[in-house]
Chain A
Amino acid sequence: MSGKTSIREEMLAAVPKLRAFAISLSGNVDRADDLVQETLLKALANIDSFKPGTNMPAWLFTILRNLFISEYRKRKREVEDGEGHYAASLVSPPEQIGKLELQEFRTALVKLPPEQREALILIGASGFSYEETAKICGCAVGTIKSRVNRARTHLAAILSVDSADYLATGTSTQAIAAGNRR
């Protein structure tokens, strides 16, 4: 077994989480999958700069994040136009319960500035620490903390403006409240 093969297996194992990040980040499944593919190819081309035994997912997330940000800057307008396309390009529709809220949430998420969005997703969904997230985004831990805070505040404002009853009557809200009471 060559070392290359095991590195590729490690890369493949990171694909589901990479895709989840890319989809939340870009708001579009097709673009996300292209981003993941570009990331894998770029990673393989630069495999010598990866130190075996270090954090493979974090390395791949860094590559994907950089690709996304530079693409975002290049095609700002198209990205903003991408908001409405999410639902149409969804591969597997979300579960029935809370479907509406999740779609509203996705739409709201794409409205955040990309730096806030990536920080919020890496911390709140991908499960990276503040330190890891800071490394992935190439900035200080304090910057990540304030971006996450701003992202939450921003998102809460978008959600409560867009749908006054989103939080008051949402199924998920009740489910969480119930879960919290246990």
Chain B
Amino acid sequence: MNDRKHPKSPEGPPPRRPKGPALDPQIQRVIGQQLRRMHDEVVKEGIPDRFAELLKRLDKRDR
């Protein structure tokens, strides 16, 4: 019980849901981890050339 950390939830423990299974903290953790993994994978790719070039082109046009 005390080893699981809930993110701050001002409304106290989540209410019981009328339908579907209760959301296992394990599942919550997996969802959080997968979301961040998808995110990090893309961020690692940095800035694709097309965007750097786009802004450079617009910069030149303005000078």
- Report how far A131 CA is from B33 CA in the complex, Å: 22
Instruction: Name which of A16, A44, A98, A172 has the most chain B CB atoms within 10 A of its CB.
Output: A16
Q: Would A155 and B38 count as touching, CB distance under 8 A?
A: no
- Report how far A98 CA is from B21 CA in the complex, Å: 25
Closest residue of chain B to A173 (Cβ to Cβ) is B30
Q: Would A173 and B38 count as touching, CB distance under 8 A?
A: no
With contact pairs A16-B42, A105-B38, A126-B39 given, residues A152 and B55 touching in the complex (Cβ less than 8 Å) = no
CB 8 Å contact bits of A29-48 with B (1 = contact, 0 = none):
00001001100110010000
- Report how far A156 CA is from B30 CA in the complex, Å: 9
CB 8 Å contact bits of B49-63 with A (1 = contact, 0 = none):
011101100110010
When distances are taken between beta carbons in the complex, the residues of chain B under 8 Å from A121 are 35, 39
Q: Would A167 and B30 count as touching, CB distance under 8 A?
A: yes
- Report how far A180 CA is from B25 CA in the complex, Å: 12
Number of B residues, CB within 8 Å of A:
38
Q: In terms of DSSP, what is the predominant structure of the interface of chain A?
A: helix
Q: Among the listed A8, A15, A20, which residue makes an inter-chain contact with B38, where contact means beta carbons less than 8 Å apart?
A: A20
Q: Would B31 and A180 count as touching, CB distance under 8 A?
A: no
When distances are taken between beta carbons in the complex, the residues of chain B under 8 Å from A152 are 23, 27-28, 31
Q: Among the listed A20, A101, A149, A176, which residue makes an inter-chain contact with B39, where contact means beta carbons less than 8 Å apart?
A: A20
Q: Does A55 contact B (CB under 8 A)?
A: no
B19 to chain A, nearest CB (A): 9
With contact pairs A19-B42, A102-B38, A153-B20 given, residues A124 and B26 touching in the complex (Cβ less than 8 Å) = no
Closest residue of chain A to B9 (Cβ to Cβ) is A145
- A-B contacts, 16 of them at CB < 8 A, read A12-B47, A16-B43, A21-B39, A33-B48, A36-B51, A40-B55, A41-B54, A105-B31, A121-B35, A153-B20, A156-B24, A156-B27, A160-B27, A167-B24, A172-B34, A180-B3
Taking A20-B41, A36-B51 as known contacts, 8 extra A-B pairs with beta carbons closer than 8 A to each other, sorted by chain A number, are: A2-B62, A4-B62, A12-B47, A20-B42, A124-B31, A155-B31, A157-B21, A176-B30
4 shortest interchain CB distances as A-B pairs = A125-B39, A20-B42, A124-B35, A125-B35
